[in-house]
Structures are given as structure tokens and as C-alpha cells.
Amino acid sequence: MSATPFDEMHNADGSVREPYLILEEWLKEQPPQALSLMSNDAESLFRRLGITFAVYGSNEGSEKLIPFDIIPRIVSAIEWRKLSKGIEQRVRALNAFLHDIYHRQEILKAGRVPEKLILNNSAFCPEMMGLDPARGVYSHIIGVDMVRVGPDDWYVLEDNLRTPSGVSYMLENREAMLQLAPELFQRYKVASVETYPETLRRTMESVAPAGVNGAPNLVVLTPGIHNSAYFEHSFLADQMGAELCEGQDLFVENGKVYMRTTTGPERVDVIYRRIDDDFLDPLTFRPDSMLGVPGLFDAYRAGTVTLVNAPGTGIADDKAVYTYVPEIIEFYLGEKALLKNVPTYNCTDLDQRAYVLEHLQELVVKEVHGSGGYGMMVGPASTKAMREEFRRKILARPDNYIVQPTLALSTCPTFVDRGIAPRHVDLRPYVLVGDDIRITPGGLTRVALKKGSLVVNSSQGGGTKDTWVLEE
């Protein structure tokens, strides 16, 4: 890892990297106010369409726009091919791992992953033991969080195997770019992301329970309009032509799931649920859940309905299990991991903890179960008080934190107040697993809009960009 971050547009000598050559030309042609006008147009477009997200703990209205940056991020076909191979390998291994963990637990018996780490983990779902989901797939919809530190140097930060969000932004960002800069699409051959909803539909259909006659009935299960990702739930349901249901719209009778329609009950076959495991079914999980469907898990166990993703997938994307992913890939596929894992310090180990506490200013500290950029500290950007606070936290609960070196996230040209400047980015490509593994060429690029910031989360001042994968 170098001290100066890798810039995806410029080489160290200032020359423009190949995928960005046409963009460079186009930027030069733009009259002075053009980008600023485009940026305003983009904002009103998103607001009108209602593409918003809710911010928890914010007083100013409950809906916000994620800032959209009008300069696309461009990835060449060759770069993408390597990347997607690595992603596919990871996803394959993690689904095999889930099947094993919920069946014979060979990997634990072989001692390759510590038993305690799995069986005592709150993300482990004993109710899933011995259950055989359709096609043996547990995680059907995956968003792998990655960062880039060099031309071919990608690290996986997190494998989101539960209910990854953000795919609607990938699709709407593309829509916005097509409207705002159609001429750029004439000069570049950009791989399509618009097929995602159709692929999602196919994926869901391919994992329908046995014995469904005709086209399976698909629904998206949402916690409701107050959920931060509600827009995405309705967007995906709409794009797939599936019914958007809340828990109250579904019920279970004689082990089968139905939705309440204007003409009475209608059978449901595959549920893309955007409700967390805990809230899925008050009879099996949290009894106080008002969002779920009583009896849903029993119907799932009986094989009359497919849940996408399966409950209990969180055990494979747990931050503590993450360190073992290279092991997991080797164990199930007999291959070396193609994508890198970020080295992770384990604070329960005394030596490692001592190192961590000495070097907090250089490291990133994350809560094991945290998400959305909350409960984390980026060492180089931290204050003394923050470091003191995290020191105390780590000492109090060493198992609750993982610590990693600060990666020099790559930068992309971004439109900011004073023109175009490099800003740090990450990438979340989306993977669908059913009868096949399909990776959408592109993904969600998040960008830290503050100069020098490494936190890309939308809840912490991050924006998004359209991500272009070029065709060969």
C-alpha cells in the first residue's frame, strides 16, 4: 500500500489512464457552467422521482437525497473480468460454507474455523440446522463491499450476505446519467446494468419451491414506508412486477403462505424479504415483532415457500468470520482466494491488542456488529479524545471490535464546489445466485465528498456515482 492513493483517472505522472481518455476529452468540451447545471438537474430529477432514504436520528425531515456525483467511475473490461472472477469464487465458497455450517459442519470438525466462533455467534441461526433450501442456495442476493488500492489491487471489506441495499441507486444513477449526458454513451460502450431486475426475477423463479405450477408468485416483503430503504423495496417490486407486501399483507394457513388480495387469499411462492431475520416471524424469532408474518418460518421449513435470502446467512458475513474467508475458499474450492482480505487484528489476542492500542492513530476500528459507518473510528482522521474513547471501549470489550490498517482508498474525479477534484471511493457490485451466479457489470460506487475523508457512507456525508464497466 502506497502513501499516495491510487487515482483511477490519472497515473502518477499526471497522464490520463486509458479508460478515462474519452471522458477527459468530453470534460474539456464542457462550457464552464455545464457541470454545475447538470448537477442541479440531477438533484431535481432525484427529488421528483422520490429517490430518498431516511436518516435515523436526524431531525430535519425524515427523507434525504443521497448526493449524486455526475462524473462516472469507469472500469475497463479487463479489470472487471478479473474482479468478477474473484467475486464469483467468494460467493460460491460462502454459500458452500453456509450449507456446511447448517449441516455436517465439516469445516469446524476439521478445525479450520474455530467452533466457538460459529456456535456462540449471535448471527448463527440454530433453527436453520438441517434445512435444505432450494438448490442449496442460502444467499441469493449479495453486495460485496470492496475498495481498490492499485490498478489490480482490490480488497474485500465486507461480504453483505443478508439484505444488501443500494441496488436501486445503481439503476437510478444509470438512468440519470443517460438523461444528463447521453452523448457520452455514444462515445463509450458501457455494459448494461438495466437487466438487474429481470435477472433478479429469474433468480427468484429458479429457487421456487418444488411443485409450483406455472410461474411462481413472487413478492417483496418490506418493513414499510418508514424503513430507510423503502424506496428501493418499492422500486424493485415495481421493476420485477412483483407485489410489494408488508407483514400484515401475508398470512400462513396450513403451512402455506398467502397474501390478502381484493379477491381473497393468493398463494405466495418466493419472498424477497427485506426484513431482518429477527423480525421475520414472531413465532420463531422475536415475539414482539410487528413487521413479520406469524408462522412464516414453519412454512419455510416445510418447503412451501422460499425466503430470499435464507435466515442465518449473517454467520458468513460476520466481521469475526470475515478473517477466515481465505481459509473457507481453500477448504471448499481447493483454490487460493483471488481477492484480498484486509488484514484484521484480533483484540482478544494480547499481543495483537497491545499493537492495536499503540497504533490507534494509523488504524481503523469497527464494531463487530456495526454498520452504516456508525460505531467506527478512522485513526488518521480521529481526535485524541476519540482515540481515548475507543481505547477504553476496546479494553472493556475486546471481542466487540475488529481493527484493520487504514487502506489508501483509490480516488476518482468528482465534481465539487471548486470544480473537479479527486475523492475517495469504494464499490459494491451486486451478485445474484440461483440456477447460476450472475454479477451485474457495474455496481454502486460510493464517494466520500469531503476532501480527504475515507468514510463513504451516505449517513456520514457520502454520495454516489454511476459505475461504468466498459465492454470489450
Partner 1 sequence: MLGRTAQNLFWLSRYIERAENMARMFEVGYRMSLTSRREGSASEHLISMMQAAEVDEGFNLKYKQADVNAVAHYMLFDEENYSSVRSCLLAARTNARSVRTALTLDMWESINSAWLEFSAIRPRDVNGAKLQELLGWIKQVSHRYRGALLSTFLRDSGYAFSQLGNFVERADNTARILDMKYYVLLPRASLVGSDVDVAQWTMILRAASAHRSYRHVYHDRYKAWNIADYLILRSEMPRSLSFCVDWINRTIDMLEDIYGTRTKGHDAADSVTALLADATVDRIFEYGLHEFLTEFIHRNNQITEALAESYNFY
Binding positions for partner 1, rule: CB under 8 A: 47-50, 224-225, 230-231, 234-235, 237-238, 243-246, 248-249, 259-264
In the chain, what is the straight-line distance between the N-terminal and C-terminal CA atoms, in Å?
A: 29
**Which is closer to partner 1, CB of 175 or CB of 367?**
175
Least Å distance, CB 249 to partner 1, is 5
Residue of 57, 107, 161, 62 lying closest to 333 (CA atoms): 107
Bridge partners of 396? none
Least Å distance, CB 270 to partner 1, is 16
**Which is closer to partner 1, CB of 165 or CB of 445?**
165
Least Å distance, CB 65 to partner 1, is 11
Least Å distance, CB 257 to partner 1, is 14
**Which is closer to partner 1, CB of 47 or CB of 109?**
47
Alpha helices in 230-274 (DSSP H): 230-240
Whole-angstrom Cα distance, residue 409 to residue 4?
A: 10
Going from the C-alpha of 42 to that of each of 167, 186, 420, 469, the distances in angstroms are 18, 20, 17, 21
* CB-side neighbour CA atoms (13 Å) of 102: 26
Least Å distance, CB 244 to partner 1, is 5
**Which is closer to partner 1, CB of 43 or CB of 367?**
43
Whole-angstrom Cα distance, residue 385 to residue 208?
A: 53
Least Å distance, CB 93 to partner 1, is 35
Reduce the secondary structure of 375-397 to three states and give it as a string.
CEEEHHHCCHHHHHHHHHHHHHC
Instruction: Give me Rg for the CA atoms of the chain.
Output: 23
Whole-angstrom Cα distance, residue 434 to residue 456?
A: 30
Q: Judge contact between 449 and 46, C-beta under 8 A.
A: no
**Which is closer to partner 1, CB of 102 or CB of 235?**
235
Q: Which three cell numbers stand for residue 444?
A: 454502486
Least Å distance, CB 265 to partner 1, is 9
Least Å distance, CB 261 to partner 1, is 6
Instruction: Using DSSP bridges, classify how beta strands 306-308 and 270-273 pair: parallel, antiparallel or unpaired.
Output: parallel
Going from the C-alpha of 208 to that of each of 134, 198, 252, 260, 267, the distances in angstroms are 7, 16, 17, 20, 12
Least Å distance, CB 205 to partner 1, is 19
Q: Judge contact between 282 and 289, C-beta under 8 A.
A: yes
CA angle 94, 95, 99 (to 5 degrees): 115
**Which is closer to partner 1, CB of 46 or CB of 390?**
46
**Which is closer to partner 1, CB of 224 or CB of 372?**
224
**Helix count and strand count (H, E) for the chain:** 16, 23
**Which is closer to partner 1, CB of 266 or CB of 278?**
266
Q: Which three cell numbers stand for residue 233?
A: 423495496
**Which is closer to partner 1, CB of 250 or CB of 347?**
250
